[in-house]
Amino acid sequence: MLSAVLSFGYGQHSKHTPYALKDGDIVFQSGHRGQANAIKAATDSEWTHVGVVFKRENQWWVLEAVQPVKYTKLEDFIKRAPKSFHARRLKDSSAITPECLALAHTWGAQQLNKNYDLKFLWDDEKLYCSELVWKIYKHAADIELCEPRAMESYNLSDPDVAALVKKRFGSIDNLPKNSPTVAPSDLADSPLLIEVPRK
């Protein structure tokens, strides 16, 4: 496995994406089901899901926190929302060394099969998508892609958001308002990232 992660795959592009991907790139999509509309309203952004790509056994995979945390083939990830697929990477690509990729793979493997965190909490017992991506970069390269925000800083007054809060927490009063939170949009807006070049 480790040798697969360390074979960067530069120049070996996937036919399923217009991007010239590299290990560690961050991929986004905009969903239309389940909690997606609430996430869009809470963050004022189209981005509802995010993962990290790795090349394994000569195929591109996305490490993502769904239910549970798992590797998904890139083409299957894209099929969910093909018109909204977007990829970003660090401006300073030299920060992603083979050692960092090895650490990312090791830490990511330790998260596999963990449950999806429906309450978006910041502990590692369960994980949500943007939390997983943020923590991979933190653990592997000591890079904070963005500053986590207080949960209450998002738009909680929107009807879709309020309904989700009531369903997950019972009441807005039970929401951990100061809990650190990172949304897909926070990662997409990170000044440390740029769009991945097209092929």
pLDDT value of position 81:
92
pTM for the full predicted model: 0.91
- For residue 2, how many C-alpha atoms fall within 13 Å in the half-sphere facing its CB? 7
pLDDT value of position 10:
38
Torsion sign across C-alpha atoms 139, 145, 148, 151 = negative
Q: Is the pLDDT at 3 greater than 70, yes or no?
A: no
3-state secondary structure the chain: CHHHHHCCCCCCCCCCCCECCCCCCEEEECCCCCCHHHHHHHHCCCCCEEEEEEEECCEEEEEEECCCEEEEEHHHHHHHCHHHCEEEEECCHHHCCHHHHHHHHHHHHHHCCCCECCCCCCCCCCECHHHHHHHHHHHHHCCCCCCCEEHHHCCCCCHHHHHHHHHHHCCHHHCCCCCEECCHHHHHCCCCEEECCEC
- Which residue type is seen at 134? W
pLDDT value of position 18:
84
Residue showing tokens 């060394």: 97
CA distance 125 to 5: 25
Question: Which band of pLDDT confidence, cut at 50, 70 and 90, is reported for residue 15?
Answer: low
Choice among 6-10, 85-89, 157-161 with the minimum mean pLDDT: 6-10
CA distance 89 to 141: 14
CA distance 95 to 140: 10
Residue showing tokens 């092929």: 199
- Which residue type is seen at 89? R
Residue showing tokens 């809990």: 179
Fold (CATH) for 2-195: endopeptidase fold (from Nostoc punctiforme) (3.90.1720)
Question: Which band of pLDDT confidence, cut at 50, 70 and 90, is reported for residue 7?
Answer: very low
Domain boundaries, the chain: 2-195
Q: Give per-residue pLDDT as tens, 31-56.
A: 988 899 999 999 999 999 999 999 99
Q: Is the pLDDT at 16 greater than 90, yes or no?
A: no
Across all residues in the chain, what is the average pLDDT? Answer: 92
Q: Give per-residue pLDDT as tens, 165-189.
A: 999 999 999 999 999 999 999 999 9
Q: Is the pLDDT at 118 greater than 90, yes or no?
A: yes
Residue 11 or residue 142, greater confidence: 142
Residue 95 or residue 49, greater confidence: 49
pLDDT value of position 12:
47
Residue 139 or residue 198, greater confidence: 139
Quick check: 156 and 175 in contact, CB under 8 A? yes
pLDDT value of position 131:
99
